[in-house]
Amino acid sequence: MSAKENSQELSAGERLYAEGRYKEAIEAYDRALEVEPGSADALRRKAEALLALGNNEAALQCHDLIIAGDPKNAIAVIERGNLLSLLSRYEEAIEAYDRALEVEPGSADALRRKAEALLALGNNEAALRCHDQIIASDPKNAAPMVEKGNVLTSLGQYEKAVAAYGAAFLLDPKNPSILCKEGAAYRRWQRFEEALQRYSEALEIASTDPSAWRGKGDVLLDRGQYSEAFTCYEKAAFQSDDWRVKGDSLSRSSKISEAIFCYDRALAQDAKNFWAWRGKGFALSSDGRVEEALNCFTEALELFPHHATLLVDVGNIHAYQKRLAEAIRCYEEALQTDPSNFFAYANKGIALQQDGRYAEAIAPFDKALEINANEGWPWLHKGYCLEKMGNPQEALRCYERATELAPNDFAAWNNKGWLFGHLGRVEEALACLDKAIDLDRQNILPWNNKASVLRRQARYDQAEACLREAISAVRDQKAALMNLANFLTDCRFDHQQALDIYEQAHAPDSEDVSVKANLAEILIKLARYAEGRAYALEVAQKSKETRLECVAGFLVAVSHALEPDRNGIGQVGEFINRFKRTLEGGEIGPGDWDYRGLANAIARTEAAVETRFLLLTLIDLQQGTIAASKLSYFENSPAGTPEGNHGPPAGIIAAG
């Protein structure tokens, strides 16, 4: 076979490889090797085809043959290290990179690749030293300084990252991409003003830079400036010639159909465009087209087998759909490929948290924080799990770390405030909750929790003022109205005003069974027993929560016990039967329903003292306070009373 024919075999192999016909491509490369044994070009391409078939050892042998033929070939040694890194054999990869550095001391490519392998093993300081060596060998080149900034950003070391980008920009002051990277680091640091300034400076240099427009839009979106953010995204899409970039910008603008069209165009140009596959999957998921999104990621995984980021993406979709076992399986598979994947560990912890497996969630959160201790949200979720495990002091330490690292995260301040309130540190609680309200006035949680802290201190006027102010501030006005109604009926004992507010919020039309349970209770307090019982029976039939079934059963029993029959005596027989069924059904247990107003109403009725005693005792049993009870629950709110709702924090986080 001539040299010309050898070249033709290599070309044929390339064509077959591009078509996914890997076995035939290998045959073509073997024919080329018959003509030119040891050809580095043919062996390298054969290794790629073998790798595509999953024949990793044979691919490594090809690289070994290249090195055997040319031991001083640093590029070949680096390529072998790259393959080992791809197979997650990081220690062996580092040995290969060190060998390349012996052949070619100071090789920037070898040092860069070695740094990536060290990061994968969690050896962050050694990785940064590699980048420092690259910078020292070429101190007037901005690119190595930018690479170091990228690593520092990924590690959450934002102060050092922005310093690195700043130094790089001094070397290359007309490069807008450096300013965009610095802006992204400031954004992750939650220093939004500096982030906006950097993106604006980038646009002064290049007014049509789509990355700068998109980054500016991201910061504005974080600040809740939705209209301005969407304007930036649309400008990014308009300015870009890259279909994938257009898709990203349109997706951020909630123009999902247009975004998917752009991603499809990008994939038509390059079927292996990793970011286009991810973007399309995210767009489909955000549009509620879950199965299509999963199919999209499945196709991407066929092109990029065992890719950790894609596996995390699939796990996230399962988690959003509450398919937690599937989500956890995906995160664990991602960690087999990439044992230092921060998002796989952190999101596995969140999935376990959402499944109520709080103790199991601690280990993956700890692993995530070993990799990057400078992100606030894993601390927040770990704190929530510790709190649910009955370890409030450790939980508080985590919340404090979360607020230090993410001072603009309302959820961290909200949960920290709630816990301070639970610990009786009232003024600290109120300060934290006020901070949470300032950060997100439209979110109902900190308003509720602030009112609850004030309630516990019997500062009813302030609590009521807080709840009334929330009505005009929060997104969910109906929920705010019903919270005020619950306060009025439980603390002011103004049941009629509470009912009026419930009707104003269209509570009778609600599909939420807990709303119907509250409505039932108010009607019973107003001695409208039949109406209240009807709602309670509806709750008992529709609720899927044992807690609400217990509450509903109790309310039905109360309505029978207090409603006079023709003889003016409560329907004791029906009440006793309901009471016995409740006990036999094992429904009595610690609860979190606020019975204060109902207990007060029961105490004030003219029902027989024995009936009142049984009803109040049943309340104490449900609250889990019988051991310390003096039947004064409705006078002093015990620890078992539900006081607000502090979480859980927001769920699964997508990798960047």
Q: Find, among 408, 415, 434, 414, the residue nearest to 219 by Cα.
A: 408
Both tokens of 249, joined, read 């910008």
Q: Per-residue pLDDT for 509 more than 80?
A: no
One-letter amino acid at 146 equals V
Confidence category of residue 465, pLDDT binned at 50, 70, 90? very high
Confidence category of residue 24, pLDDT binned at 50, 70, 90? confident
Hey, CA dihedral for 550, 443, 438, 518, is it positive or negative?
Answer: negative
Looking at every residue in the chain, the average pLDDT score rounds to: 84
DSSP conformation letters of 639-654: TTS------PPP----
Q: Per-residue pLDDT for 257 more than 70?
A: yes
pLDDT in tens, 318-330: 998 999 999 999 9
> Across the strands, what pairs with 564?
570
- Residue 247 and residue 266 in contact, taking contact as beta carbons nearer than 8 Å: yes
DSSP conformation letters of 393-456: HHHHHHHHHHHHH-TT-HHHHHHHHHHHHHTT-HHHHHHHHHHHHHH-TT-HHHHHHHHHHHHH
Both tokens of 125, joined, read 């300081």
Q: Per-residue pLDDT for 584 more than 90?
A: no
Q: Do you know the residue count of the chain?
A: 656
Both tokens of 368, joined, read 């995530």
Q: Per-residue pLDDT for 635 more than 70?
A: no
One-letter amino acid at 15 equals R
Calpha distance 208→232 (Å, rounded): 11
Q: Per-residue pLDDT for 346 more than 80?
A: yes
Both tokens of 429, joined, read 């609680």
Q: Find, among 297, 299, 292, 356, the residue nearest to 322 by Cα.
A: 356
Q: Find, among 453, 437, 504, the residue nearest to 477 by Cα.
A: 504
Q: Of all helices (H) and strands (E), which one includes residue 131?
A: helix 124-137
Helices and strands in the chain: count of H runs, count of E runs: 36, 0
The DSSP call for residue 570 is B
Backbone phi, psi, residue 655, to 5°:
-65, 150
> Across the strands, what pairs with 97?
none
Calpha distance 313→294 (Å, rounded): 9
Q: Find, among 155, 645, 186, the residue nearest to 443 by Cα.
A: 645
Structure confidence at residue 640 (pLDDT): 30
Backbone phi, psi, residue 605, to 5°:
-75, 175
pTM higher than 0.75, yes or no? no
State yes or no: cis peptide before 648, omega within 30 of 0: yes
pLDDT in tens, 555-572: 888 888 788 764 444 455
The average pLDDT across 338-343 equals 87
Question: Which residue bears the tokens 């299509």?
Answer: 292
Could you give the C-alpha distances from 630 to 612, 619, 620, 638, 643, in angstroms and in order? 14, 12, 9, 11, 21
CA dihedral 133, 134, 138, 141 (to 10 degrees): -130
- Strand, helix or coil at 626? helix
10 Å Cβ neighbour count for 263? 29
Q: Per-residue pLDDT for 435 more than 80?
A: yes
Calpha distance 330→307 (Å, rounded): 11
CB-based burial, 350-388: b 16+ in 10 Å, e otherwise: bbbbbbeebeebbebbebbbebbebbbbbbbbbbbbbbb
Q: Per-residue pLDDT for 215 more than 70?
A: yes
Confidence category of residue 29, pLDDT binned at 50, 70, 90? confident
DSSP conformation letters of 524-566: HHTT-HHHHHHHHHHHHHH---HHHHHHHHHHHHHHHHHSB-T
Could you give the C-alpha distances from 14 to 17, 54, 303, 643, in angstroms and in order? 5, 18, 17, 67
Q: Per-residue pLDDT for 3 more than 80?
A: no
Calpha distance 382→384 (Å, rounded): 5
Both tokens of 179, joined, read 């300013």
> Across the strands, what pairs with 570?
564
The DSSP call for residue 509 is G
Both tokens of 396, joined, read 């508080």
CA atoms within 13 A on the CB side of 466: 24
Structure confidence at residue 497 (pLDDT): 94
Structure confidence at residue 568 (pLDDT): 43
Q: Per-residue pLDDT for 213 more than 70?
A: yes
Could you give the C-alpha distances from 431 to 186, 269, 449, 465, in angstroms and in order? 26, 55, 12, 17
What residues contact 161, with CB distance under 8 A and at least 6 apart? Answer: 149, 150, 152, 153, 182, 185
Q: Find, among 515, 524, 517, 600, the residue nearest to 561 by Cα.
A: 524
Could you give the C-alpha distances from 645 to 149, 263, 445, 547, 634, in angstroms and in order? 40, 41, 6, 16, 21
Calpha distance 314→269 (Å, rounded): 24
- Strand, helix or coil at 197? helix
Least confident of 64-78, 260-274, 452-466, 605-619: 605-619
Top pLDDT among 363 and 89 is at 363
Calpha distance 342→366 (Å, rounded): 10
**What string of H, E and C letters represents the secondary structure of 147-183?**
HHHHHHHHCCCHHHHHHHHHHHHHHCCCCHHHHHHHH
Could you give the C-alpha distances from 540 to 406, 593, 594, in angstroms and in order? 42, 15, 18
Least confident of 196-205, 353-362, 611-620: 611-620
Structure confidence at residue 654 (pLDDT): 60
pLDDT in tens, 380-412: 999 999 999 999 999 999 999 999 998 988 999
